[in-house]
Amino acid sequence: MNQALENCIIERFTGTHHRQLLVISGAEVWCLNQIEQLVTLASSNSNGDFSILSCRSELPKGVSFPSTNNTQYRHHLGREHDWVIYNCWQGVRANAMAALAGTVKSNGLMILLCPSLDTWQKHIDKELSERISYGQTDRVESSLFIELLSKHIITDGNTLLCDEKGFNGTNSKVAEALIQSSFHEQNKVVVAIEKVLTGHRNRPLVISADRGRGKTAALGIAAGRLIDKFDSQILVCAPQKVSVETLFKHARVECKLVEDNIKFVAIDDLIQNQPSCDLLIIDEAAGIPVSHLKKIAQHYRRVVFSTTVHGYEGTGRGFDIRFKPYLAALRPELNSASMEQPIRWYANDCLETFWWKTLQLKPIEDNNLQPDATTDSGSIKLVKINKRELFHDEVGLNQIFNLLVEAHYQTTPDDLVALLDAPDQHIFVIKINEHSVGVILTNEEGGVFSESLSTNVVRGHRRVQGHLLAQQLAFNSGDISYLSLRYLRVVRIAISDNFRRQGIGKQALAELQNWAQAQDMDFLGTSFGASAELVRFWQHNEFQSCLLGYHKDKATAEFSLLMLKPLRLSHTNKLITLQTSLLNNIEFHCVQIYQHIDNDVLIPILEELSETEGDTMNEYYQSRLTLFAKDNRSLESSAVLIKTLLDDKTSYAMLSHKSLSLLVDFTLKKQPIPQLVASYKLSGKKALQTKLREICCEYLSHYEKIKP
């Protein structure tokens, strides 16, 4: 082992230092040999309580430490290790590196093993096929992301670097003032948590902080004190039980009887059974579907939501974008608290700063988005960005990525890698008078499938990386021809806050359509977690619903919706076939799969699909519907007739949203009469029948005026 490196490691055991990144760069066998010596050195110099987490790296025989890989790293979140060893020779995933960095203890090291920095970007990454679309890997000659990572390793003054030529770097000592810093910020948050229980009802608290700020510990301290003072019953919920071990540990310190008063409850149990408690604590709330958070906020009167700001999974922004405005409207006396001061490490932590900068996890202050730019239609331009030029413009890269982070809840560090490296992903900046106001991220899909692969995809035997639209359409329709078509999928469209709701997105999509047609594409498309607002946005831009997923997204509890806009007239019939199939699927699965899909989402889709059905009302249906509406025909004998209202496109303009919602729940979801009576605040079955007769009368009166 290099003597300077050995001295550096020994020094770390005798003082207080910032967490740092150690990069061991060279041939893989040489890198692993260095690790073997480092682990032996650490074992002989530590006090025995020393923990190492290894990701895809072999440790010396006889050494027993936990290990993980690029897909299982989540199991270690919420735990701490002195060292994390990440073997880049076995594949690089930015999400995993960012997450595992957060498990490194104060005074610890994150150790990267990698090829020589001057050639690493041309190294064939073993994870390449997992993050680059099928048929595109041969186009990746060099990785801009690895080049960016290497540049930051070389230029960062606090990174320790060891290669076969020698060692460079020094340990970054923590100033005495930082070591002696108080926990005043955490103490203020503890008081705020206690006040949720001791103060007025309906005043929830939202705690926001980056990782390592001690918010989970603060939750535990407050819980223990409340139990000690008031014998409170407290429930704790989080995406994973292991992530709240710290909370329970701190609660036990404050109160010995804590086990009888504080319990962990899984999110599904919480939503379904709604157990009672004096205080509900939701830790890592950003990892819980927004629809679940809304139900929690509606039912529980004393609740604390805690969330990570710069989440490695990209979910932190979902909490801010999708849930916090809802919570503020529901509970106007909502309180918020933030924590800036690190607890698990020290301010100006070297490792945290490195990954924030490298992975663009915080915005650079220099921002050229101009709030005073005019938005007349003639001034909007869509500019395709060259990735090499973007690599050299780090302020521009930071602005684009942070705009994507701000606008979408699922933007992650892995998306930064794709943005720089994926040859099929294109970046378009929306400009107004030369000022950047938004960005559109797209994927080029389809047109690369062999005959045998196409057959296996349609039969459900294969699913390759990427090509979401082509594969979903082919598999669900059983039509192999969808794999030979070419699609431009809109992955993200993000507009700066100052320019939203001004029609800029619509104009930009029109420009994108022109570009796609010039590239001989067959369809523009998109796929997203279906919310009422997004469905309306894409419909307003003439995209048409084609596939509704059968499973809820784990992060949002929303069903995915695939929408298309044909770029050739010859594809119109394909679209009609897809929409007819979608309508049949919705009607068949509404009783079970789509029973709990929000009617705010379902109704606009049904309205759109009714266009493909044409005018379904005729004299036969009209006369029999009139018998129910105005005479004494029973509800049971008329249910099928009532369903025809949803097939007729004119109904959606005639009837109120509440009336349409009742029709959906009664005729498609087939909800039991007691449930309908309760949901719509009716006195009983007779009142339900009366209400449905009124809806039919309203429809018939309008229909009489417009019928041919």
Give ranges for CATH 3.40.630.30 in the chain. Answer: 377-596
Distances (CA, A) of 625 to 54, 229, 275, 432, 671: 69, 65, 45, 54, 21
| Residue 519 pLDDT | 97
Confidence band of 541 (pLDDT split at 50, 70, 90): very high
**Cα(127)–Cα(145) distance, integer angstroms:** 13
- What pLDDT digit, counting tens, does each position of 92-105 carry? 999 999 999 999 99
Confidence band of 321 (pLDDT split at 50, 70, 90): confident
Architecture per CATH, 182-339: 3-Layer(aba) Sandwich (3.40)
SS3 of residue 703 by DSSP: helix
Percent of the chain at pLDDT > 90 equals 68
- What pLDDT digit, counting tens, does each position of 675-703 carry? 999 999 999 999 999 999 999 999 988 77
| Residue 175 pLDDT | 87
Kindly report the CATH number that applies to the domain delimited by 614-706: 1.20.120.890
- What pLDDT digit, counting tens, does each position of 570-615 carry? 999 999 999 999 999 999 999 999 998 999 999 999 999 997 665 6
What is the mean pLDDT of the segment spanning 363-378?
Answer: 54
Give ranges for CATH 3.40.50.11040 in the chain. Answer: 3-176
**Cα(447)–Cα(484) distance, integer angstroms:** 4
| Residue 632 pLDDT | 81
Give ranges for CATH 3.40.50.300 in the chain. Answer: 182-339
- What pLDDT digit, counting tens, does each position of 240-270 carry? 888 888 899 999 999 877 778 999 999 989 9
HSE-up of residue 152 (Cα within 13 Å, Cβ side): 20
- What pLDDT digit, counting tens, does each position of 476-527 carry? 999 999 999 999 999 999 998 788 888 999 999 999 999 999 999 999 999 9
Whether residue 367 is predicted with pLDDT greater than 90 in this model: the reply is no
Answer with the residue of higher pLDDT: 65 or 652.
652
Answer with the residue of higher pLDDT: 312 or 704.
704
Percent of the chain at pLDDT > 70 equals 94
Single pTM value for the model: 0.86
- Distant-in-sequence, close-in-space partners of 231: CB < 8 Å, separation ≥ 6: 261
- What pLDDT digit, counting tens, does each position of 180-189 carry? 766 888 899 9
Whether residue 404 is predicted with pLDDT greater than 90 in this model: the reply is no
Whether residue 372 is predicted with pLDDT greater than 60 in this model: the reply is no
| 377-596 placed in CATH 3.40.630.30 | yes
| Residue 311 pLDDT | 52
What is the mean pLDDT of the segment spanning 551-577?
Answer: 90
Most confident of 173-187, 277-291, 562-576: 562-576
What is the average pLDDT score of the chain?
A: 90
- What pLDDT digit, counting tens, does each position of 438-476 carry? 999 999 999 999 999 999 999 999 999 999 999 999 999
**Cα(190)–Cα(206) distance, integer angstroms:** 12
| Residue 58 pLDDT | 76
Q: What is the DSSP string of 240-303?
A: -GGGGHHHHHHHHHH-TTGGGTEEE--HHHHHHH----SEEEETTGGGS-HHHHHHHHHH-SSE
| Residue 556 pLDDT | 72
| Residue 409 pLDDT | 62
Whether residue 371 is predicted with pLDDT greater than 50 in this model: the reply is no
- Distant-in-sequence, close-in-space partners of 182: CB < 8 Å, separation ≥ 6: none
For 55-59, 103-107, 569-573, which range has the lowest pLDDT when averaged over its residues?
55-59
For 49-63, 100-114, 389-403, which range has the lowest pLDDT when averaged over its residues?
49-63
The answer to whether 150 and 117 have CB atoms below 8 angstroms apart is yes
Whether residue 333 is predicted with pLDDT greater than 60 in this model: the reply is yes
What is the mean pLDDT of the segment spanning 665-684?
Answer: 96
Q: Class for domain 3-176, per CATH?
A: alpha beta
